Amino acid sequence: MSKVYVIGTCDTKLEELSYAKGLIEQAGIEALLVDVGTRGGQRGADVSAEDIASRHPGGRDAVLGGDDRGAAVGAMAQALSIWLAERDDIGAVLGLGGSGNTALVTEAMRALPVGVPKLMVSTVASGNVAPYVGPNDIAMMYSVTDVAGLNAISRKVIGNAAHAAAGMAKGQVPAAASDKPGIGITMFGVTTECVTQLRKLLDADYETYVFHATGTGGQSMEKLADSGLIAGMIDVTTTEVADMLMGGVFPCTEDRFGAVARTGLPYVGSVGAVDMVNFGAQETVPAKYADRNLYVHNPQVTLMRTTAEENRAIGTWIAERLNLCQGEVRFLLPLGGVSAIDAPGMPFHDPDADAALFDAIRSTLKQTDRRRLIEVPHNINDPAFAELLAKQFREIAK
């Protein structure tokens, strides 16, 4: 029987954590109370802080006993991540706490595969939770009152969370009946036509998961790859790299393409929408970009055309990351334009900027028998380009 792991700092939250554990057990699910307090030595937990701290690469003393609380919390988060990854009986993980414990527990939650139930009751859950959730399926529940004692409000909120965790552990979702392997595909508004065609070409043999390339989208696709939940990737739209390098609002992280390298999964990629950097409403565009080629995509999104210099940086960064990948990699260059608005007569058509992008990739990518660059004389949304993407993926996914 899977268990619910109730995690928090027993030196300050033992009453609340024990209350949650008791309700889970009343629902007929085994629960384990895990202490992640950085002071250690507390009683009442099923798994002590010392037990967790011992899993840190530097040992127990790297976590407990120091004077720097911030460093101790970070070290405990690392130790908890390792410890949780070793469990094979997790039905759900329930965390309770304030900002420090939220950062600690959600870091460990993010190390778990997508699909493992994760619920965090937190004092910061009504604000910007992106740093805590990232590309993962973590449910954030606002505590309303502080997690500082039991009262009429906290009993109800924590009780609801405990029952939710028990329900998720008890009613685990069975695997899908489909026998088609799943593949991740990245898309943006200006590459939608390509992806729509691509899905039609692949739907008979693959279950396609489309991710909107808004920073979190690319991370989510790679999280599924790391979690073993997809069989390959067709990374049509790598625009998040442009936002990361130029300060846009939809940036990837430095780990973009990391899952491709770690897993060796079949990978077909391209440079979809790297002709643009994304900002919010037009008045939010940084002053240093005020004289650039700007395109109002909608009232909340303004696009900035990338220059030749910026495209060289983008192409170099992508190719250097792909050079770390040892699996089957095919990277396609759409010489006729990288987006719907990078075509003759469209506002971002700039052959010189595109040429700088393509040249940077050509000169930086180290081609091998398994890592190949393919140049195509079409715009990325041309039907022939989608057909070649599908063809290349089928070949390397055999």
DSSP letters, 60-118, are GGGTSS-S-HHHHHHHHHHHHHHHHHT-S-EEEEEEEESHHHHHHHHHHHHTSPTTS-E
Altogether, the residues listed in the chain come to a count of 398
pLDDT over threshold 90, residue 175: no
Residue (of 258, 248, 253) closest to 280 by Cα position: 248
CA distances from 145 to 16, 138, 154, 164, 194 (A): 12, 21, 6, 19, 48
- pLDDT category of residue 394 using cuts at 50, 70 and 90: very high
Task: Please tell me whether residue 386 adopts helix, strand or coil conformation.
Answer: helix
Taking residues 125-132, report their average pLDDT.
Answer: 92
Cα–Cα distance, 201 to 384 (Å, whole number) = 11
Taking residues 84-88, report their average pLDDT.
Answer: 94
- pLDDT category of residue 177 using cuts at 50, 70 and 90: low
- Helix, strand and coil in the chain, % to nearest 5: 40, 20, 40
Taking residues 147-162, report their average pLDDT.
Answer: 94
Q: How many CB atoms lie within 10 A of CB 398?
A: 6
pLDDT over threshold 70, residue 286: yes
Cα–Cα distance, 224 to 398 (Å, whole number) = 20
Q: Which amino acid is at 164?
A: A
Taking residues 261-277, report their average pLDDT.
Answer: 98
Give the pLDDT score at 43. Answer: 78
Tell me the pTM. Answer: 0.79
Give the pLDDT score at 190. Answer: 95
pLDDT over threshold 90, residue 44: no
361 CB-near residues (< 8 Å, 6+ apart): 271, 315, 316, 318, 319, 331, 333, 373
pLDDT over threshold 80, residue 223: yes
pLDDT over threshold 90, residue 347: yes
> In order of start, what are the domains of the chain with their CATH numbers?
3-170 (3.40.50.12020), 182-396 (3.40.50.12030)
- The proportion of the chain whose per-residue pLDDT surpasses 70, expressed as a percent, equals 98
For the chain, the average pLDDT equals 94
Cα–Cα distance, 169 to 117 (Å, whole number) = 7
- pLDDT category of residue 176 using cuts at 50, 70 and 90: low
pLDDT over threshold 90, residue 171: no
Give the pLDDT score at 1. Answer: 65
Q: Which spans in the chain are helix H?
A: 10-26, 49-53, 69-85, 99-110, 130-133, 152-170, 192-202, 216-226, 240-246, 258-263, 308-322, 351-364, 383-396
Q: How many CB atoms lie within 10 A of CB 290?
A: 9
- The proportion of the chain whose per-residue pLDDT surpasses 90, expressed as a percent, equals 87
Query: 314 versus 64: which is more confidently predicted?
Result: 314
- Are residues 238 and 269 in contact, defined by beta-carbon separation less than 8 angstroms? yes
- pLDDT category of residue 68 using cuts at 50, 70 and 90: confident
- pLDDT category of residue 178 using cuts at 50, 70 and 90: low
What digits encode the pLDDT tens for the residues 231-250?
999 999 999 999 999 999 99
The strand pairing partners of 303, in sequence order, are 278, 295
Cα–Cα distance, 117 to 139 (Å, whole number) = 8
